[in-house]
Amino acid sequence: MNLKDKRVFVTGGARGIGRGIVTLLAKEGARVAFTYTSNPAPSEELLKELPGDGHLCVKMDVRDGASIQEGFAKAMETLGGLDGLVNNAGITKDQLALRMSAEEFKDVVDTNLLGTFLCTKAVLKSMMKQRSGSIVNLSSVVAQMGNPGQCNYVASKAGIEGMTRSMALEMASRKIRINAVAPGFIATDMTEKLSDDQKAKISERIPLGELGSPEDIAHAVAFLLSDQSTYITGQVLQVNGGLYL
C-alpha cells in the first residue's frame, strides 16, 4: 500500500490497534500524528521507533473540544494539512444493562461516538478546502452482532456505523471519503481483560480459528486511506476472521 506523503492523524495511537496502525502507516511512507491521553512516555518511545521523519504525538482527550482543537492545531502546523484521519480511540465499560449506571453508558458513548464526531468535525473544513481526504472510523463486529454486557459499547459502535454512512453522503461531493473498519476480537489491552477461558471460547467461534492482530486491522485501515480505494465511501469493512457470517 503506497501512502507516501500522506499526512494522517490517528487518535489513541500509542498502544493496541492504534499502535499497529501508526506503525504500518509510517512504514508505508505516511507522516503520522497520533495522540495519548496522559502518559507521553510510550508515545515518545514509539516516535523513536517509527521509520521516516516528520511524525509527532500530541496530548488529546477526544471527549474535550478544547483539547481536540489544540491537538489538531499542533498537527496541522507540523504536517501542513491532513489527508487522513483514523478515529481509533475507544473504551469499554462492560456491565449488564440492568446494573449499568447512566455514567458508565455515557462515558463509553462520549469517548467512542461523540469523540469520533468531534474529531471528524475538526478536520472537515480543511479537507473540504483541499477537496480530498479519507476518514476511517473504528467500529466493531458487535455493532451488528450485539453482545451481552456491552449495550453501551454496542450502541456507540452502531452509532459510528450510521454516522459513517450519513457523513459519507454529506461529504462525497467534496471528494472526502468516510468509511469504517469493524474488527472482530483482536489481541490488545482491551481483550486482555477477558479470562483465558473466555478467549478460548471466542477462538472456537472464529472460523479462522484465532484472535486477530493489530496489524490485521492496520492493513484494512491503510487500504481505505490509500489511493487504491478512491471509489469506496460509506462502507464498513469487516475484519473478523469470519466471526459473523
Q: State the chain's maximal CA–CA distance in angstroms.
A: 51
> 78 exposed, middle or buried (CB, 10 Å; 0-12, 13-18, 19+)?
middle
Site residues for ligand NAP, 187-216, by CB under 6 A, read 188-191
The residue with cell 496502525 is 21
Contact 10, 60 (CB under 8 A): no
The residue (of 38 and 173) whose beta carbon lies closer to ligand NAP is 38
CA 86 to chain centre: 5
Cell of 175: 471528494
* Binding flag, residue 15, ligand NAP (CB under 6 A): yes
* Binding flag, residue 61, ligand NAP (CB under 6 A): yes
* Binding flag, residue 138, ligand NAP (CB under 6 A): yes
CB of 31 to ligand NAP, least distance (A): 19
CA angle 154, 159, 162 (to 5 degrees): 130
Active-site residue flag, 153: yes
Strands 31-36 and 133-138: unpaired
Of 93-101, 119-127, 128-136, 178-186: span binding ligand NAP (CB under 6 A):
178-186
The residue (of 35 and 152) whose beta carbon lies closer to ligand NAP is 35
* Binding flag, residue 14, ligand NAP (CB under 6 A): yes
List, by residue number, the catalytic residues: 153
Binding residues (CB under 6 A) for ligand NAP: these are 11-12, 14-18, 35-37, 60-63, 88-91, 111, 138, 140, 183, 185-186, 188-191
